[in-house]
Amino acid sequence: MADSSFLATKRYAVVTGGNKGIGLEICRQLAFNGVTVVLTARDKKKGMEAVENLHQSGLADFVIFHQLDVLDSASIASLADFVESHFGKLDILVNNAATVGLILDSNAVKAAVFNAFVTNEGANRVLSDAENLTEERVDRLLQEFLQDLKEGVLETKGWNSYLSAYTLSKAALNAYTRILAKKYPRFMINSVCPGYVKTGINCFTGILSTEEGAQSPVRLALSPAGGVSGMFFSRTDVVPF
């Protein structure tokens, strides 16, 4: 257990997509550090099974389950009400839930991970201009991409030739991180790439274990107040867009 005085005060965390992979390991490591963790998952059965496994490993006092579908506003409201009524506060939120929605070729996934940059010049100009980033500018950019996708002109418009939506979604998430950090200066809001981790989403072709992949998000989650915000981390290193 961590013995830092910073962790002496009871802290509460919500981890989305916590029933497997990196999300599950993040729950484990946070709980091991004395944080009460609400493990969430879309599938109640899978979520409960994950919590039971953590309980059997000695973390029964630190992990509980609550169902959450991040695409369902009623489900989100239910979780918020639960946190408010049971804890009265939330110290840590780890947005880990993800969905692919298609069958992936493992080689394509590997290529996208190691070449995860946006090739469209206009998109790069917008997303790299940290000082002038706004939700409206990012939303317009995403709408432009969707229109090019519908018209079948991604390649001619300079978008990535494979997994273009995946790559742009990651870049847009980094942009929203910066926007939110400016909007809420009292919070520490960062995004982190855990590295190429062996998980189901990449057909277990990664090179890092889930334990290694969870270390960076957990380190950020446990950072003392007043730490960095609005940053994008590649594991432990701050990197530019």
| Alpha carbon separation from 133 to 15, 74, 129, 207 (Å, rounded) | 27, 30, 6, 34
DSSP state of 200: G
Residue 233, token pair as written in the block: 């981390």
Distance CA 20, CA 14 (A): 15
- Distance CA(188)–CA(179), nearest Å, equals 12
Q: CA-CA-CA-CA torsion for 59, 61, 67, 72, nearest 10 degrees?
A: -100
For residues 43 and 48, what is the distance between their CA atoms, to the nearest angstrom?
9
CB-CB neighbours of 41 under 10 Å = 26
In order, the DSSP letters of 12-40 are EEEETTTTSHHHHHHHHHHHHTT-EEEEE
Other C-beta atoms lying within 10 Å of the C-beta of residue 172: 19
- Which residues have a Cβ under 8 Å from the Cβ of 132 and sit 6 or more positions away? none
Q: Is 59 helix (H, G, I), strand (E, B) or coil?
A: helix
Catalytic residue among 166, 176, 184, 196: 166
Q: Residue 43's CB: how many other CB atoms inside 10 A?
A: 13
166 is catalytic: yes
Q: Which residues are catalytically annotated?
A: 166
